[in-house]
Every structure is written in C-alpha cells, then in structure tokens.
Structure 1
C-alpha cells in the first residue's frame, strides 16, 4: 500500500469514527438517556413541543435507532452506505422539523451543520469506507 493510500484510509477512518460514534451517542441519548440524554420519554415530549402530538414516542424511538445503528455501521465501515443513509434521513428530518425555518447559518439556528453532516456522509458512502474497517474487506 502506498503512503498516499495509507493517508486516504486513515482520513476515512477518522471521518467515520468521529461522525459515526457521535451519532451512536446521540441515539443512545434518545433511547437510553445515556451521555446526559433525556431518553425516549424526554425526546418524545420534546417532539410534542414541535407540534408532533401523534406518535411522538414512536418517532423518538425511530430517530434514536437510526442514529444508534446508522452511527455504528458508519463508524465500523460495515454497510457504510446504509449507515450513511440512516444518518442522512435523520438530518433531513432535523432540517425539516427544526432548523430549516431558521435559514442556513448555524448562528441563527439554521441547517448549516446538518447539511455539512449530510455531505460528509454521502461523500464517504460514495468513496467507500477505506481499508480500515471492522470486518475483513476482500
């Protein structure tokens, strides 16, 4: 393996670990109340404040599962494309439900950061996870 490929694979690993483990943590906050999270009840109550009265608890569980599972897949480099899709779905939902009405810039509560995460996930999925993955990649 050339030095350039070692750097590419290391870069992809860093991206996957930071993004994937962060989303795993967000999912664990929603589902289990870990890492200072509110758990399903708290997330469901917050979703109700956004106007989602019906099925708030179900949506809280789905968002948590998409973040937890998507984050793990993305971080591990296993079915990276599926993990990326799960993360992108949650980010599109966040833009639609929360950030979109605030415009683009994060300083105004906008969707700037969500769009950056979407781009990183899609870009990584298109490139591939690299050689440093949890399972052997032939």
Structure 2
C-alpha cells in the first residue's frame, strides 16, 4: 500500500511540475511565460505576466511538494485553487470532455 501511494504521489506531483515548466519555461512544447501571459491577458487577468508567473510557480511548487510528500494539505489546496480558476475561466464553457477543450482533465488533476 505504501509503495502504491508513493508511486501515485511522485507521478502526480511530477505531472504537475511538468505542466508548470510548460508555462514558465516553454519546455515540453509549452508556451513559456510570454505565451502564458498573453493567454492570461486575453482571459482578462491583470497584470497578466504576474498572474502567469504565480500560476506557474504554484503548480510547480505544489507538484514538487506533493511528489516529496511535504506540506501535502497546503500544496494540494494551492493547486486545487489554480485548477478551479482554470476550470471557471477557460474550460467550463467548453463542456466536460477534453477533446472539446472542456474541464475533464483539469478536474481530474484537481
């Protein structure tokens, strides 16, 4: 049981971290901070660059903390809050399923 939970925690936490570095650095085909800030601006977030950095840092910090098993409740709460904002501001109008840009994946991560 402990090994299974460790595997889940590490895989999930590193998945969150990978999502973060897409936003912050453009790794793994991500938009980088400039592209993320542009998207944030189109969504009405102000100031967009700061919002992009905060979202990326929360995702990355929470992912690393979860993977390491550190501060799990606050890390999970921080990440869930970022995913809630993403669901409401981006994905909810597109329905549930991810192939339509919906909130399925974001909800599953949260």
> Could you say what the CA RMSD is over the residues aligned between the two structures, in angstroms?
1.5
Residue in structure 2 matched with residue 74 of structure 1 by the alignment: 66
Do structure 1's residue 110 and structure 2's residue 102 form an aligned pair? yes
Aligned length: 110
Map 1:1-138 → 2, pairs under 5 A: 8-52=1-45, 54-118=46-110
Which is greater in Rg?
1
Distance 2:63 2:18 in 1: 8
User: 1:73, 1:82 within 8 Å by CA — same for their partners in 2?
Assistant: no
Greater relative contact order (CA < 8 Å, ≥ 6 in sequence): 1
| 39-48 or 56-65, larger mean C-alpha shift | 39-48
The unaligned stretches of length 5 or more in structure 2 are none
**Any stretches of 5+ residues in structure 1 without a counterpart?**
1-7, 119-138
TM-score, with structure 2 as normaliser:
0.88
TM-score by length of 1: 0.72
How far apart are the structure 2 equivalents of 1:38 and 1:108? Answer: 20
Higher helix share: 2
> Would you say the 8 A contact 1:66–1:87 is kept in 2?
yes
